[in-house]
Amino acid sequence: MTAFIVIGTVGLAIVLLTLILGEVLDGLFGAFDIDTGGGVFSAPVIGSFLAAFGFGAALIMFATGVNATIGALGGLASGGVVGGFALLMMRSLMSMPTDETVTTRGLEGATAIVITPIPQDGYGEVTIRHHGEQRKYNAQAAEALPVGSRVEVTAVISASAVIVAPAAPDTPSDISES
């Protein structure tokens, strides 16, 4: 029974180290040229299997008084279930779709609102809704622009600064009254 508890403790340590160190442990398995990216041989799956196998076998032996062979078979079953669940979780997390990284690419032509006055040939601040996120940028303009002005981004200077110009006024849309 002590051997099973040691195996379970090693498995639990692998899982905890994976949570703390992340991809570092998966890099150790890279030397064996096997797929570790959410696969069967990834550190979380191996750790989960070992923890469930060791603690499951020890629990079965303690609770029922069976020998080590029966305990090991029960441990294999519990390790297979928990390891399989960890495998499914890893694969679903690895294949989860994510939003694209927000960059300044595509900001030209975007509409913004001045939140800090922009002096002529100086810097102020604007907010821009880009890819569904409200972002604040330093802004420069050829003319002074007061707070609340609607502006259009004409160029991107850096990751945190843009050049703006007053936006064209909206044209009234044809709204029919019924």
Among the candidates 67, 94, 121, a domain finishes at 94
Q: Are 141 and 151 in contact (CB under 8 A)?
A: yes
Q: Are 125 and 139 in contact (CB under 8 A)?
A: yes
Predicted confidence band of residue 67 (pLDDT cuts 50, 70, 90):
very high
Cα 71 from Cα 101, distance rounded (Å): 49
Q: How many domains does the chain have?
A: 2
pLDDT of 50 > 80? The answer is yes
**What pLDDT is stored for residue 175 in this prediction?**
39
Average pLDDT over residues 122-126: 93
Query: What sign results for the dihedral spanned by CA atoms 94, 98, 100, 23?
Result: negative
- Percent of the residues in the chain that have a pLDDT greater than 70, as a whole number: 85
Q: Do 121 and 88 share a structural domain?
A: no
Q: Flag whether 177 is in a domain.
A: no
The pTM assigned to this predicted structure is 0.54
pLDDT of 65 > 60? The answer is yes
Q: Do 145 and 82 share a structural domain?
A: no
Q: Flag whether 10 is in a domain.
A: yes
Q: Do 69 and 9 share a structural domain?
A: yes
Average pLDDT over residues 109-121: 92
Token reading at 171:
């044209």
Q: Do 63 and 11 share a structural domain?
A: yes
Q: Do 132 and 80 share a structural domain?
A: no
Q: Flag whether 101 is in a domain.
A: no
Q: Residues 133, 147, 123, CA angle at the centre, nearest 5°?
A: 80
**What pLDDT is stored for residue 177 in this prediction?**
40
Q: Flag whether 171 is in a domain.
A: no
Cα 178 from Cα 171, distance rounded (Å): 21
Q: What are phi and psi of 45, to 5 degrees?
A: -70, -45
Among the candidates 94, 121, 140, a domain finishes at 94
pLDDT of 28 > 70? The answer is no
Domain, as residue range, for 148:
111-166
Residues with Cβ < 8 Å from 20, sequence gap 6 or more?
none
Predicted confidence band of residue 176 (pLDDT cuts 50, 70, 90):
very low
